[in-house]
């Protein structure tokens, strides 16, 4: 997301939307997409704490466990008059206490304010603009609104999704891995001291993270992962959920599962890539052990998208447009650098491209401000794109190309 407005202009926008929220004037958009996302995260999720029902204002929306799950926002904290949705099957129904409406009537409603919930904001942005609505004035991205509300009104720095890679080793060699893992000449674990230091530096500037993902390679190969989870306990009240993402081919040991359980807000994301009969056997053992561990978990099976482009984007304006349509699902924090997208970090680490300081915000720079961090958390880069964008299809649905998952080299 390219933020082309000053801090003063943004404050005025957020003040206007805050007043509309407290007056009960805001509609939502995108419930069925939220339902899909919520089902994706809640499926087989094991032990979880019940969601609190006491969120009546915006003051704690960014800081409640589970509010990062898209489907929990409507009627469970974030109050709206009704929800528009593109799915005709749920029009004129009631979901989570909110009436679901067809967007066909938006253009006839006159002045309106809509908070857009789905991650694929730019597809809906184009739709709403076709009705004559204006961004910031008539509609706004939910994450954008709540992040800036917390910054301007609570002096808090909120990050929705952050990732950290703890190893570049993996048991698989997936041809289309978006972290470029098969192309490392010498895959290795990230040293524990570096990981521990990064955690301290990150939370010295960030107040709360909704979704903190531990990635690889496969993080279960890093034998010091339990130590890292112990370190993370220092900040457990500042993270809604810690997700450990594994490819399903490694049986987690007891010390890891015990640390994850003790953390209290950890979830193990077990992917099923179905690469071989032996893999399936191991995967089933992994699932059985995780299910009996007392740790929250998700069993995930999904289609992959082709990230690599067949030809590079060379025009700078097209690169900015391309980056702005990508919802940048994951920021990353590595080596005291805050990346708006985690792909450039791995591309540099494996030697595919050189380090580019315009890809990240350096927390080692004493000149960076909280506002700089907030903008980066929302995807803003001064240049308007990353060094990886030229060869990446991104996450805009217009460019999605489904491919077979986990094809092995």
Residue 111: Cβ-neighbour burial (10 angstroms; 0-12, 13-18, 19+) = exposed
**DSSP designation for 178:** T
Strands 296-300 and 266-271: parallel
Q: Give the Å distances, CA to CA, from 305 to 61, 218, 301, 330, 401.
A: 32, 19, 13, 16, 5
pLDDT tens profile 237-263: 899 899 999 999 999 999 999 999 999
The span from the CA of 97 to the CA of 75, in Å, is 6
Q: Give residues with Cβ within 8 angstroms of 401, minimum separation 6.
A: 305, 306, 393
Mean pLDDT over 148-159 rounds to 90
The span from the CA of 401 to the CA of 358, in Å, is 28
Higher pLDDT, 78 or 212: 212
The span from the CA of 359 to the CA of 135, in Å, is 26
Contact between residue 182 and residue 173 where contact means Cβ atoms under 8 Å apart? yes
Helices marked H in 138-215 = 142-154, 192-205
Q: How many beta carbons lie within 10 A of that of residue 144, not counting itself?
A: 22
pLDDT tens profile 354-383: 999 999 999 999 999 999 999 999 989 999
**Which of 120-124, 241-245, 333-337 is the least confident region?**
120-124
pLDDT > 70? residue 188:
yes
Consecutive H or E run containing 139: strand 139-141
Mean pLDDT over 42-57 rounds to 32
pLDDT tens profile 50-78: 333 333 343 444 443 433 343 343 334 57
Region of residue 335 (phi > 0: left; psi between -120 and 50: alpha; otherwise: beta):
left
For 207, the token pair is 């107040």
pLDDT > 90? residue 186:
yes
pLDDT at 395: 78
Percent share of the chain, pLDDT over 70: 86
CATH code linked to domain 157-403? 3.20.20.70
Helix (H, G, I), strand (E, B) or coil at 87: coil
Contact between residue 196 and residue 333 where contact means Cβ atoms under 8 Å apart? no
Q: pLDDT confidence of 322, banded at 50, 70, 90? A: confident
pLDDT tens profile 83-99: 898 888 888 988 767 78
pLDDT at 301: 85
Angle between helices 225-232 and 192-205 (to 10 degrees): 20
Q: pLDDT confidence of 110, banded at 50, 70, 90? A: confident
Residue ranges covered by each domain of the chain: 7-152, 157-403
Higher pLDDT, 37 or 133: 133
pLDDT at 122: 81
pLDDT > 50? residue 47:
no
pLDDT > 80? residue 202:
yes
Look over the chain and give the mean of its residue pLDDT values, rounded to a whole number.
85
Mean pLDDT over 336-346 rounds to 92
Q: How many beta carbons lie within 10 A of that of residue 281, not counting itself?
A: 10
The span from the CA of 41 to the CA of 68, in Å, is 11
pLDDT at 328: 65
């Amino acid at each position: 997301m390219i933020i082309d407005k000053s801090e003063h202009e943004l404050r005025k926008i957020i003040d206007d939307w805050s007043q509309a929220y407290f007056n009960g004037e805001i509609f939502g958009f995108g419930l069925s997409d939220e339902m899909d996302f919520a089902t994706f995260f809640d499926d087989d999720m094991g032990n979880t704490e019940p969601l609190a029902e006491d969120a009546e204002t915006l003051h704690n929306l960014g800081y409640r466990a589970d509010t990062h799950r898209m489907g929990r926002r409507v009627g469970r904290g974030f109050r709206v008059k009704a929800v528009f949705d593109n799915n005709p099957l749920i029009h004129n129904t009631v979901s989570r206490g909110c009436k679901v409406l067809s967007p066909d009537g938006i253009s006839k409603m006159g002045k309106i304010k809509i908070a857009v919930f789905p991650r694929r904001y730019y597809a809906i942005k184009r739709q709403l603009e076709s009705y004559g609505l204006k961004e910031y004035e008539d509609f706004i991205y939910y994450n954008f609104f709540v992040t800036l509300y917390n910054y301007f009104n609570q002096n808090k720095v909120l990050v929705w999704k952050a990732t950290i890679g703890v190893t570049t080793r993996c048991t698989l060699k997936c041809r289309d891995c978006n972290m470029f893992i098969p192309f490392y000449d010498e895959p290795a674990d990230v040293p524990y001291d570096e990981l521990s230091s990064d955690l301290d530096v990150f939370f010295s500037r960030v107040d709360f993270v909704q979704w903190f993902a531990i990635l690889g390679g496969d993080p279960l190969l890093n034998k010091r992962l339990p130590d890292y989870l112990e370190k993370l306990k220092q900040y457990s009240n500042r993270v809604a959920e810690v997700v450990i993402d594994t490819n399903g081919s490694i049986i987690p040991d007891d010390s890891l599962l015990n640390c994850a359980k003790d953390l209290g807000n950890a979830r193990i994301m077990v992917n099923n890539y179905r690469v071989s009969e032996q893999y399936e056997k191991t995967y089933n053992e992994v699932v059985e052990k995780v299910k009996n561990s007392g740790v929250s978990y998700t069993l995930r099976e999904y289609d992959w998208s082709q990230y690599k482009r067949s030809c590079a984007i060379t025009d700078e304006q097209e690169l900015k447009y391309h980056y702005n349509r990508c919802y940048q699902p994951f920021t990353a924090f590595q080596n005291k650098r805050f990346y708006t997208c985690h792909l450039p970090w791995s591309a540099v680490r494996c030697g595919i491209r050189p380090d580019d300081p315009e890809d990240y915000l350096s927390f080692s720079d004493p000149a960076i401000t909280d506002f700089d961090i907030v903008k980066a958390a929302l995807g803003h880069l001064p240049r308007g794109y990353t060094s990886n964008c030229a060869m990446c299809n991104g996450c805009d649905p217009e460019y999605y190309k489904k491919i077979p998952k986990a094809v092995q080299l």
